[in-house]
């Protein structure tokens, strides 16, 4: 009890004060003007919406997904909406060589990268997990491993621009979600990996922001088809969701919560985890790793 009164409560107080009173920068669409942005999974759904919003803000965009024809249409629409430039490279994120080469080519084409938005996922239906190991492997490779491969390839360019990495995840990457075990595992993996390297960057003075976007159910065609007849839940709109992701990345926020219910952000904020992460950092001596 004495320990709690002496240490834990003051720390919690300081932490909450910092959280609520630290000056928050306002988002302005001009922040994206002329910026060099990559969006994966951009042929439909939230990725397509993000491409259009970025185009309206005057960004340079390079898009990817598997379907060449659809990407061509999205790129044309981006140019109509005012993109500084718009290009695509089609390929599958099951192929790690494609994932890496895509980043190299996109970086060369734009002369650098300011923001990398990792958004694609492999197709997933709602099912009780029995024995589909192939889907577990594909989910981990497409939804997680390809994100890591692209991050590695983009990091020299993101360091150069003091840029932003944006990782699109889900509430299924924060809480247990029945019927979506493989998908949920791949989204939890994103949190473990990208939150850990975010702390490493902060401790070793690497100025690349990492934003993890925790989305609830969104009204994309894929999602509406997948839940039909199984879940009766009101989805949030994909255009507003796309803007929330871009804003979070531009403002260099650690996490973005976007869901129909405001309770999600409050309940998943997890002050226990934040305090433990904040405190654990003090036992590390990072001298050995700085500037390596
Ligand atoms: P979506 O509409 O199904 O779009 C998925 C995108 O990924 C498409 O552009 C698709 O294009 C691409 N893709 C699929 N397989 C691929 C592969 N093997 N290699 C490369 N690209 C591939 O998805 P969404 O609903 O917008 O979801 C976008 C993000 O939001 C995901 O990270 C998802 O986890 C997250 N999220 C969505 C919801 C929701 O309710 N919609 C909820 C929480 C989180 P091609 O088929 O042409 O390749
Ligand atoms: C069904 C359901 C219910 C998600 C987050 C989520 C994704 C999955 C499964 C959506 C796009 C899709 C197909 C709740 N949540 C979710 N899903 N919360 O990320 N779902 C569906 C729907 C992959 O491609 C509460």
| pLDDT tens figures, 4-23 | 566 656 655 655 555 555 55
Distance CA 243, CA 250 (A): 10
Q: Is the pTM of this model over 0.85?
A: yes
Ligand 2 centroid–CA 110 distance in Å is: 33
Predicted pLDDT of residue 15: 55
E-state strands within the chain: 36-40, 60-65, 85-90, 115-118, 164-170, 209-215, 255-258
Predicted pLDDT of residue 284: 86
Using CA positions, which residue lies closest to atom 17 of ligand 2?
217
Predicted pLDDT of residue 25: 82
For 7-12, the CB contacts below 8 A with 24+ separation are 11/275, 11/279, 12/271, 12/275
Catalytic residues, by residue number, are 183
Using CA positions, which residue lies closest to atom 15 of ligand 1?
122
- pLDDT tens, position by position, 36-60: 999 999 999 999 999 999 999 999 9
**CATH: 3.30.460.80, 3.40.50.720, 3.30.559.10, 3.30.2130.10. Which one for 30-121+149-278?**
3.40.50.720
Question: Is 161 within 8 Å of 144 (Cβ atoms)?
Answer: no
Tell which one of 180, 221, 258 to mutate to probe ligand 2, the residue whose CB is within 8 A of the most ligand atoms: 180
Distance CA 25, CA 28 (A): 9
Residues of the chain with pLDDT under 50: none
Give the ligand 1 atom nearest the CA of 48. 9
Using CA positions, which residue lies closest to atom 3 of ligand 1?
222
Predicted pLDDT of residue 197: 98
Give the start-to-end residue ranges of the domains of the chain.
30-121+149-278
Please count the other Cβ atoms lying within 10 Å of the Cβ belonging to residue 233: 9
Please count the other Cβ atoms lying within 10 Å of the Cβ belonging to residue 97: 9
Residues 6+ apart with CB under 8 A from 230: 126, 179
């Amino acid at each position: 009890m004495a320990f709690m009164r002496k240490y834990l409560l003051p720390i919690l107080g300081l932490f909450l004060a910092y959280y609520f009173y630290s000056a928050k920068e306002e988002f302005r669409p001009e922040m994206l003007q002329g910026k060099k942005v990559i969006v994966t999974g951009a042929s439909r759904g939230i990725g397509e919406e993000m491409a259009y919003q970025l185009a309206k803000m005057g960004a340079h965009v390079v898009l990817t997904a598997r379907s060449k024809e659809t990407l061509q249409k999205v790129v044309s629409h981006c140019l109509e909406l005012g993109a500084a430039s718009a290009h695509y490279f089609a390929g599958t994120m099951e192929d790690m060589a494609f994932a890496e080469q895509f980043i190299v080519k996109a970086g060369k084409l734009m002369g650098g990268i300011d923001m990398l938005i990792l958004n694609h996922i492999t197709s997933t239906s709602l099912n009780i997990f029995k024995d589909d190991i192939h889907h577990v492997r594909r989910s981990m490779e497409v939804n997680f491993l390809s994100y890591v491969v692209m991050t590695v390839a983009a990091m020299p360019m993101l360091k150069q621009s003091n840029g932003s990495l944006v990782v699109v995840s889900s509430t299924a990457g924060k809480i247990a979600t029945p019927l979506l075990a493989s998908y949920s595992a791949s989204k939890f993996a994103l949190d473990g990996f990208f939150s850990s390297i975010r702390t490493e960057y902060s401790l070793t003075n690497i100025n690349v922001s990492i934003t993890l976007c925790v989305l609830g159910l969104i009204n994309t065609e894929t999602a509406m088809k997948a839940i039909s007849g199984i879940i009766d839940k009101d989805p949030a709109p994909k255009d507003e969701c796309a803007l929330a992701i871009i804003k979070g990345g531009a403002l260099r926020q650690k996490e973005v919560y976007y869901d129909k219910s405001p309770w999600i952000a409050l309940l998943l904020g997890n002050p226990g985890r934040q305090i433990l992460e904040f405190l654990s950092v003090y036992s590390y001596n990072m001298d050995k790793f700085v500037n390596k």
